[in-house]
Structure 1
Amino acid sequence: MTVLIDTPSWPAHGRLWAHLVSDESLAELHGFAAANELPSRGFDHDHYDVPEELHDKLIAAGAVYVSGNELVRRLIASGLRVRARDRSPRA
């Protein structure tokens, strides 16, 4: 079981964002996020969006840095990936 994080490279709201995922379960992902005080509003179907300024803190807490391609590959392999076309709009 591993929580993975990629490079903060997605611009939004005046900052860069990374993705945080689990290659095992959403329970593991939500537990890690809660332990590191990530707000639940950062969860987007199969990952958390993480602001650049928290990147190093999350790695120090145990998230494993991987490339964006590796993160997506492992998320798909886990069976947790939610494809864009299958996502319901946020409320």
Structure 2
Amino acid sequence: MHKEDLRGWVRQAEADRGERDDRLTTVEQDELRQLRKEAAELSGPRQPHAQTARIPWARRRPSRPSYLKHHAQFSRRFQVSSESSKV
């Protein structure tokens, strides 16, 4: 067992007993978790690709000239030789 794990458990036990006010008690954490779950259910189904669809460049690969330009800038900036960049 890692010492930080034990330390966290002790802090949580102290919070549950009312000895600490810098963290939520276990009951408060459970209540918050339940409220967040209910809020997520009420907000409707998630659409993971909806945001990406609004950004047309997010789905495309960069063009070859664009890639080479950025590669050259990176190589100059970080002083990478062309031999070391070949993989």
Q: TM-score, normalised by structure 2?
A: 0.20
Return the structure number with greater helix share.
Answer: 2
Q: TM-score, normalised by structure 1?
A: 0.19
Return the structure number with greater strand share.
Answer: 1
